[in-house]
Amino acid sequence: MRAPDDFRAQLEALRPYLLRYANLQLRDAASAEDAVQEALLAALAGQASFAGRANLRTWLTGILKHKIVDAIRRQAREPVVSAEADEELADFDDLFTERGHWNERPAAWGDPDGALEQAQFFRALETCLERLPSRTARVFMLREHLGLETGEICKELDITPTHCWVLLYRARMTLRECLQQTWFAK
Amino acid sequence: MKLLSCRETTRLVSQGLDRELAFGERVALRVHFAICLGCRRAARQMKFLRRAVRELPART
């Protein structure tokens, strides 16, 4: 059995990682700090349930995911800034012609599976995610990272399914374009 | 059957990742894919994005 101080130190060592993870999804430094703090407290209180598990980081990330969903629920009650709403609605006018065909055909991505082996690729992906409008990014991460169904996301964020699909579409198209430019074209 | 533009196709591909598409929608996609390399690539890349984002964050 580990000494409690040792356990606490191990948790603390993971704080920077947890903060980065929370920031990526919450897009708000204060909420991210709060979520991480809550997760660390819950982990300390639940030390017994960790006993014997292999990976502290995985266990802690699992706790943090719940705190992030809670935080997004709280954020959903706050009004969206109108500038951001405008940004979300910006259309892909330069991507398609008036008749809806590609202006420039998407290029093939060489060896995407190889990219998944590289830490640098994930850095590039994080940078692209940071460029998304924050609500779009939150919806996208709830769906694609946390794996929530769109029905749940709509309910949590109080938006219509159609709106949800539009945000997800924009996120995917924007990220595709961003990765094309910052990673695959290099 | 209505032919899809690339804009409509990418929109439908994205929705296909979030809801079950109707039979007619799936057929329309298949028809469009048969003639459009750009949309085939975009579809593959959106699916790849899903796999990549599941594995975030970077292990550094």
CA distance to partner chain A, nearest, from residue B46 (Å): 6
Residue B53 at interface with chain A, using a CB cutoff of 8 Å: yes
Task: State pLDDT tens for residues A11-65.
Answer: 999 999 999 999 999 988 999 999 999 999 999 888 878 877 778 888 999 999 9
Token digits for A4?
């409690």
Under-70 pLDDT residues of chain B: 1, 58-60
CA distance to partner chain A, nearest, from residue B32 (Å): 12
Three-state DSSP state, A106: coil
Of A109, A112, A150, the CB nearest to B18: A150
Query: Chain A: which residues have CB within 8 Å of chain B?
Result: 17, 20-21, 24, 92, 96, 99-102, 105-109, 112, 115-116, 119-123, 125-126, 140-141, 143-145, 147, 150, 161, 164-165, 168-169, 172-173, 175-176, 179
Average pLDDT, rounded, for chain A = 87
Which residues on B lie below 8 Å from A103 (Cβ)? none
Return all residues near A103 (Cβ < 8 A) that are at least 6 apart.
A94, A95, A96, A97
Please give the pLDDT value at position A55.
Answer: 85
DSSP string for B25-53 = HHHHHHHHHHH-HHHHHHHHHHHHHHHHH
Question: How much is the average pLDDT of A66-71?
Answer: 92
Q: Closest-CA residue in chain A for B15?
A: A165
Residue B21 at interface with chain A, using a CB cutoff of 8 Å: no
Q: Closest-CA residue in chain B for A57?
A: B59
A83 Rama sector, left if φ>0, alpha if ψ -120 to 50, beta otherwise: alpha
Measured CA to CA, the distance from residue A9 to residue A77 in angstroms comes to 35
Of A99, A116, A119, the CB nearest to B5: A99
Residue that is written with structure tokens 């990682």 in the block: A17
pTM of structure: 0.86
Per the CB < 8 A criterion, the answer to whether A68 and A35 are in contact is yes
pLDDT band at A81 (very low <50, low <70, confident <90, very high): low
Q: What is the ipTM of this complex?
A: 0.94
Q: Closest-CA residue in chain A for B48?
A: A112
